[in-house]
């Protein structure tokens, strides 16, 4: 009798492993050895914290440094590391190291998640992924240890380096990184880690392959050209950082005229523009920022960083495709052009579908939280809380982790909604696109067309 083999669809693999990691992390955080004051952490708060760490979001319902012991903080660090690298890629790497057979469907699934290209050498890529990650994180920890002159201990420096590179946003300090708001060195170190974690593993390896021959150039040696995909990611990353910095600086320190020196105001604007796209750290109190500044940050959080990175959001490539599509419509072009290449019609359709899907999810979540968090409040107070709810929802969906202070005040239903949003934000877009590709089928006929009055 032939033994039946359990077969999982590739799209179910990341969902299953993320669920198991979150549940395992929750159980570990509930152990007395992980809490400074045992039996004070509820199951919901443990689940929320584990989901936030695994989905590399950073929203916290409890004070990380004050609630968890060193053992609990190690658990959070491990969950962030696993979430940042991606459980499926770590699983494939484990199979590779054990010289197990990785199926073609697994190769394709990992390739679509990390590279946007299913034809790659799995073992070599994952080896570079892990080596680059550990080297960058250890270097960042070493630099933070020196830059803070020992104020960050070795573990604290490592924790924040991993949190920054994995775009986790968790901090062991109750004020995040506000105590170093005036330090350009620390701001640049953390921002550098966030940017590296947000551009994606493929772009990092592509830049290294592009930069290496130029540093060791020999005569008549052809120099490789950076790929079009990496070019799009890098240019738009720079654009969003610069545009975000200018917008936040103008909205907050020019209009509201806070009493900050010019240099510190520009530094704070730059750091928030970098962090709010994916990372979750802050050097100024977010709850004290103006409405226009929060709206700018909401837009940046919704866009996020690059595909295949540690970040969430709809991704900067989706944003760039949508902008290019609108430009093509205004110019009357049939093709959506970005730089030297035209985007395929399939990619344009997926970008528009992902954008619509994300807007729908965010809108429904805002509606739900308005009901659960403001249902008993007077209308004036409820309207004042709307911007905080919108900020919280987009932060969770974009796996950013910045909050105006609403997170600890959430109701039980609100906490579970944010948990679901963090999970959807980490896996939802990938699963949605994959499911859409699986369900799509071409019809063998065409229906008659007719004009419809639009606008």
Give the mean pLDDT per block of 10 residues along the chain (455 residues). 48 77 94 87 93 90 91 94 74 52 55 54 74 92 93 93 91 90 93 90 82 71 81 93 94 75 89 89 89 93 86 89 93 88 88 90 94 81 87 93 89 93 79 59 72 72
Partners of residue 341 on adjacent β-strands: 338
Buried b (16+ CB within 10 A) or exposed e, 300-322: bbbbbbbbbbbbbbbbbbbbbbb
CB 303 within 8 A of CB 312: no
pLDDT of residue 233: 92
Could you tell me the residue ranges of all domains in the chain?
Answer: 12-213+227-437
CA–CA gap between residue 91 and residue 3 (Å, rounded): 24
pLDDT at 91: 52
Q: Are 396 and 427 in contact (CB under 8 A)?
A: no
Give residues with Cβ within 8 angstroms of 139, minimum separation 6.
Answer: none
Rounded to an integer, what distance in angstroms lies between the CA atom of residue 42 and that of residue 37? 12
Q: What is the pLDDT of residue 105?
A: 55
| Three-state DSSP state, 376 | coil
Mean residue pLDDT across the chain = 84
pLDDT at 213: 75
Retrieve residue 443's tokens: 């019809």
Q: Which residue has the tokens 């270097």?
A: 139
343: DSSP letter: E
pLDDT recorded at residue 4: 45
Q: Is the CB of residue 147 less than 8 Å from the CB of residue 234?
A: no
What count of Cα atoms within 13 Å lies in the side-chain half-sphere of residue 277?
Answer: 34
What is the pLDDT, as a whole number, of residue 339?
A: 86
pLDDT of residue 431: 63
> How many whole angstroms separate alpha carbon 264 and alpha carbon 51?
34
């Amino acid at each position: 009798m032939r033994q039946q083999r359990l077969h999982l669809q590739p799209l179910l693999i990341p969902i299953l492993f993320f669920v198991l990691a979150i549940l395992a992390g929750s159980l570990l955080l509930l152990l007395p050895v992980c809490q400074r004051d045992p039996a004070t952490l509820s199951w919901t708060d443990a689940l929320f914290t584990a989901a936030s760490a695994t989905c590399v979001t950073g929203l916290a319902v409890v004070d990380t440094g004050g609630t968890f012991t060193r053992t609990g903080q190690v658990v959070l660090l491990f969950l962030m590391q696993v979430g940042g690298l991606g459980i499926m890629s770590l699983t494939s790497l484990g199979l590779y190291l054990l010289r197990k057979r990785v199926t073609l469907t697994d190769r394709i699934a990992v390739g679509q998640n990390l590279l946007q290209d299913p034809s790659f050498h799995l073992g070599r890529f994952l080896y570079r992924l892990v080596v680059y990650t550990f080297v960058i994180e250890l270097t960042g920890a070493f630099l933070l240890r020196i830059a803070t002159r020992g104020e960050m201990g070795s573990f604290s420096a490592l924790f924040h380096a991993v949190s920054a590179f994995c775009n986790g946003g968790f901090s062991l300090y109750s004020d995040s990184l506000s105590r170093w708001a005036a330090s350009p060195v620390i701001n640049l170190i953390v921002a550098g880690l966030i940017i590296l974690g947000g551009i994606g593993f493929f772009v990092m390896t592509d830049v290294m392959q592009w930069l290496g021959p130029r540093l060791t150039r020999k005569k008549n040696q052809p120099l490789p050209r950076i790929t079009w995909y990496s070019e799009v990611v890098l240019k738009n990353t720079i654009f969003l950082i610069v545009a975000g910095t200018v917008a936040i600086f103008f909205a907050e320190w020019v209009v509201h005229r806070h009493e900050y020196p010019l240099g510190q105001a520009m530094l704070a604007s730059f750091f928030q523009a970098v962090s709010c796209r994916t990372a979750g750290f802050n050097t100024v109190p977010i709850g004290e920022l103006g409405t226009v500044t929060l709206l700018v940050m909401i837009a940046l959080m919704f866009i996020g960083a690059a595909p295949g990175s540690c970040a969430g959001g709809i991704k900067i490539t989706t944003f760039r495709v949508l902008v290019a599509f609108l430009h093509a419509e205004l110019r009357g072009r049939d093709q959506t052009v970005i730089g030297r290449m035209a985007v395929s019609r399939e990619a344009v359709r997926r970008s528009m579908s992902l954008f619509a899907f994300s807007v729908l999810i965010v809108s429904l979540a805002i509606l739900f939280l308005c009901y659960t968090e403001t249902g008993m409040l007077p209308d004036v107070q409820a309207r004042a809380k709307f911007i905080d709810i919108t900020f919280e929802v987009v932060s969770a969906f974009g796996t950013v982790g910045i909050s105006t202070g609403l997170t600890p005040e959430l109701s039980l239903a609100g906490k579970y909604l944010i948990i679901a949003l963090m999970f959807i934000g980490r896996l939802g877009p990938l699963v949605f696109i994959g499911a859409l590709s699986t369900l799509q089928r071409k019809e063998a006929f065409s229906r008659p067309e007719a004009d419809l009055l639009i606008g």
